[in-house]
Amino acid sequence: MTAPKGKLLVISGPSGVGKGTICARLLEKHPEMTFSVSATTRAPRAGEVHGVNYYFISHEEFAAAVEKGEFLEHAAHFNNRYGTLRSEVEQRLAAGQTVLLDIDTAGAMQVKDSGIDAVFIFLLPPSMEELQRRILGRGTEDAAAIAQRLEKAKSELALADAYDYRVVNHVVEDAVAEIEAILANH
């Protein structure tokens, strides 16, 4: 008897909406769920482990993998490249696991275009004012960076209708429960 095929769950939303918090809570509550380990060309940070946090590969290896179609999605950020390996996701799905991808809207559209079966959820802030408050509350960026994030958020919010579901993250536990209900029906 073969193991039941797992589910691919793609979660996107603008910076500050709480994707990391929601994903961490889902993983905490569901041991059968796994977070996809991405490949990157950036150097490991202190404490990061190859194959656990990321697959750390060279720019040449990354380019070769892109050429061979080995990524479900990939992007460049700050002179480094990041991508979700198709083989990583397919192995976990074949093992019956639910695979969680926390990726930006561009990556989600690449996954959608790949034809792989997935559930696409867009996390929305309760309001733009609340999103701005959350980004400001981080205290990690200057006014120009915050303005840039808010501008990007507007373009990302315009893509919300391309997703299967939209979940408002007003209260973390409520958003998690809504996502759990969506998964239960797939």
The residue extents of the domains of the chain are 8-184
Side by side, the strands of the sheet bearing 80-85 are 54-56, 38-40, 80-85, 71-77
pLDDT class for 2, splitting at 50, 70, 90? low
pTM of the complete model? 0.86
The pLDDT score that the predictor gives to residue 4 is 66
Range of weakest confidence among 73-77, 109-113, 133-137, 160-164: 133-137
| Percent of the chain residues topping a pLDDT of 90 | 66
CATH homologous superfamily, domain 8-184: P-loop containing nucleotide triphosphate hydrolases (3.40.50.300)
The pLDDT score that the predictor gives to residue 147 is 83
The pLDDT score that the predictor gives to residue 32 is 87
The pLDDT score that the predictor gives to residue 175 is 97
- Do the Cβ atoms of 36 and 82 come closer than 8 Å? no
Average pLDDT across the chain, whole number:
91
Alpha-carbon distance of 154 to 176, in angstroms, equals: 23
pLDDT class for 1, splitting at 50, 70, 90? very low
